[in-house]
Chains A and B, each alone.
Chain A
């Protein structure tokens, strides 16, 4: 059987470490104590609205030096209006045709943005093409690359750093947050967490319920694409989106 060099390779490692392959390392994969993780998760889920708003303020601060726009809105329709306004202000980066590519996601559906976009002659592309094969997929990539705006939601958002956490899933394609010139993310205030420690505690919890929760991909996005490779001068929009807007729906209470 071809093990692609694995057995010999790992054996070399064991020899170098002077260990036996039968050894057990009980605590190698063990996560933080259940108690500690329970506490953290409780803290997150019972965090009062006022504290979440404080986190939001913190994120707005963190976003400034990153050239990241964090915009609180009360409701989803308000978010939709803001996005429409943005679309009318911006020009396509490649070619003249205006098109927007979207995730298939309950939050985005609830915004009811598709109709309004179409009314304004902006083409709408859904990323969740049924898996009909290569040509369909190629077309999606091509169209996304031509889009000037890509709209996603996120699984979590980290206040300390302004980071979006996006899991890859059918309908939640990676290219939507990558290829368009402008990336727009819509999240609810409840998705906002304090820091990476909280994130990894939540991820651990998810993994406990479903070891394949991350499946084949997850991306952290902190600000728009950037580079400082020419004389250390910061330029936004190296390869990924040049601008990033996060709309946080805070609710009306």
Chain B
């Protein structure tokens, strides 16, 4: 049921590169958000260094996760809420489905949540004949079109207004228009009816607070407030790491989250939810369920070299600066999470070999690290994933990916320790390259694994004499003098 398509990274990437609409959208997105985020960090009263502080707060939470989750669930249960601990996607989905069936739910409204994408909730509900309506406008568009989101925060960036106009005129039976305002109104109206009639509201969780026992949900549209306030049953899903100890930790975390996600000083709506409707209250759900999900996270937790990945607050800032994401878009990553965060987290969740292209398909430029509001060292972990692919790692069930390459590097490592051998290698490559050098002195076509370079680029052939050879000769001459 869960959609994992990491094997097609390359093909999907090429598709993305050749899609002019997507290219323009991605470029606009990165200019607007990518540049703005860096600026917003600089303008923080505490400066960009605040991201380190946020990292420490998150790390402390992750290292005390058992205590925090215990406290959270205790508090929520005390208010009459239900808390379910799901070890994997299936358990989480099953629990939610059972809850829906118990209440005879036929329609559920859902606020944007990457965790529910991760566990494949929509497909499971569809199979059970229960409709889930996505309510974030971007997600709604994607759902009407039968597609998958391509960005954590802006899921429908790959669609133009006329595509959306056509889609709405067909599905919502409104006159065709390309005016974003009119289109938004149409969705507002259609979704209002759903909000008011849905039997269940589904949400994710941004950063829960253990001290007080609340989850938090953040949105700009108000759809998540609707989903968590109006239906009789509210089911919230949270990855087990999305929690912090103290309420006041939220000061730094929300300010950074808002800047990282959408260059805002503060997101439009932040709601703290700590249980179902209390006695004497006139609104809020009668039942509140929190589903806390592991689904491979304890494995990340157990490996100290990857543990910091659990600090991630899924803001999407790293996508907005990544040169690779900026060209290939979100679909190539083949799973709920795209961009740099996806490139690290997906292999850890679905298998390193299975997602090998995600580990290898980056330039290691480091822009993501500077953009991350919680200062996660994504490039470091990408390099580490590559080392698992190179040598295999039983702890991660990873096998050696490429024995030929391993052999070549083995030989290479012997050569680089001996200058004479290194010179011989240079000599060989120089001789070899002669066959390919054109009249202009450049190589325009290379064989074997080097072919990729010359598909679009020329290359200068190795020099007749390497720098070191020339230098040695000069040294000799000097000494003679």
Contact of B284 among A32, A145, A216 (CB under 8 A): A216
As a 0/1 sequence over residues 224 to 251 of chain A, the CB contacts with chain B under 8 angstroms (1 = contact) are 0111111111010111110000000000
A9–B284 touching, CB < 8 Å:
no
B196–A239 touching, CB < 8 Å:
no
CB A203 to nearest CB in B, in angstroms, measures: 6
Considering the chains assembled together, what is the distance between the CA atoms of A29 and B67 in angstroms? 10
Assess whether A221 is interfacial by the CB under 8 Å rule: yes
Considering the chains assembled together, what is the distance between the CA atoms of A8 and B66 in angstroms? 11
A5–B87 touching, CB < 8 Å:
yes
Assess whether A41 is interfacial by the CB under 8 Å rule: no
Chain A: interface size category: 35 or more
Q: What A residues does B87 contact at CB under 8 A?
A: 5, 8-9, 12
Q: Given that A4-B84, A239-B226 are known contacts, is A217 also in contact with B64, CB under 8 Å in the complex?
A: no
Assess whether A113 is interfacial by the CB under 8 Å rule: no
Considering the chains assembled together, what is the distance between the CA atoms of A248 and B282 in angstroms? 27
Assess whether A175 is interfacial by the CB under 8 Å rule: yes
Assess whether B250 is interfacial by the CB under 8 Å rule: yes
Q: What A residues does B79 contact at CB under 8 A?
A: 215-216
Q: Given that A4-B82, A62-B265 are known contacts, is A28 also in contact with B67, CB under 8 Å in the complex?
A: yes
B246–A232 touching, CB < 8 Å:
no
Considering the chains assembled together, what is the distance between the CA atoms of A157 and B321 in angstroms? 33
As a 0/1 sequence over residues 133 to 144 of chain A, the CB contacts with chain B under 8 angstroms (1 = contact) are 000110011100
Q: What A residues does B299 contact at CB under 8 A?
A: 16
Assess whether B40 is interfacial by the CB under 8 Å rule: no
Assess whether A25 is interfacial by the CB under 8 Å rule: yes
Within 8 A of A (CB), among B204-249: 210-212, 214, 220-223, 225-226, 229-230, 240, 245-248
Considering the chains assembled together, what is the distance between the CA atoms of A21 and B246 in angstroms? 20
As a 0/1 sequence over residues 18 to 33 of chain A, the CB contacts with chain B under 8 angstroms (1 = contact) are 0101000100111110
B184–A9 touching, CB < 8 Å:
no
Considering the chains assembled together, what is the distance between the CA atoms of A197 and B155 in angstroms? 32
Q: What A residues does B196 contact at CB under 8 A?
A: 141-142, 145
B269–A215 touching, CB < 8 Å:
no
A225–B294 touching, CB < 8 Å:
no
Assess whether A71 is interfacial by the CB under 8 Å rule: no
Segment at the interface with B among A42-50, A73-81, A83-91, A163-171: A163-171
Considering the chains assembled together, what is the distance between the CA atoms of A9 and B86 in angstroms? 8
B269–A222 touching, CB < 8 Å:
yes
Contact of A9 among B85, B154, B191, B278 (CB under 8 A): B85
Q: What B residues does A54 contact at CB under 8 A?
A: none
Contact of A10 among B66, B91, B184, B251 (CB under 8 A): B66
Considering the chains assembled together, what is the distance between the CA atoms of A46 and B143 in angstroms? 53
Q: Given that A19-B66, A140-B283 are known contacts, is A231 also in contact with B161, CB under 8 Å in the complex?
A: yes
Q: Given that A5-B91, A127-B282, A222-B268 are known contacts, is A204 also in contact with B247, CB under 8 Å in the complex?
A: yes
A13–B240 touching, CB < 8 Å:
yes
B266–A161 touching, CB < 8 Å:
yes
Chain A's closest residue to B78 (CB) is A212
Assess whether A69 is interfacial by the CB under 8 Å rule: no
Chain B's closest residue to A220 (CB) is B270
As a 0/1 sequence over residues 74 to 117 of chain B, the CB contacts with chain A under 8 angstroms (1 = contact) are 00000100111111000100000000000000000000000000
B69–A13 touching, CB < 8 Å:
yes
Residues of B within 8 A of A (CB): 25, 28-29, 32, 60, 63-71, 73, 79, 82-87, 91, 135-138, 141, 154-157, 160-161, 164, 180-181, 183-185, 187-188, 191-192, 195-196, 210-212, 214, 220-223, 225-226, 229-230, 240, 245-248, 250-251, 254-255, 264-284, 288, 292, 294, 298-299, 301-302
Residues of A within 8 A of B (CB): 4-6, 8-10, 12-17, 19, 21, 25, 28-32, 62, 127-129, 131, 136-137, 140-142, 145, 158, 160-161, 163, 168-170, 173-175, 178, 196-197, 199-201, 203-204, 207, 211, 214-223, 225-233, 235, 237-241
Q: Which 9 A-B pairs have the closest CB atoms?
A: A240-B222, A238-B221, A5-B85, A229-B138, A9-B85, A16-B302, A170-B280, A225-B222, A230-B180
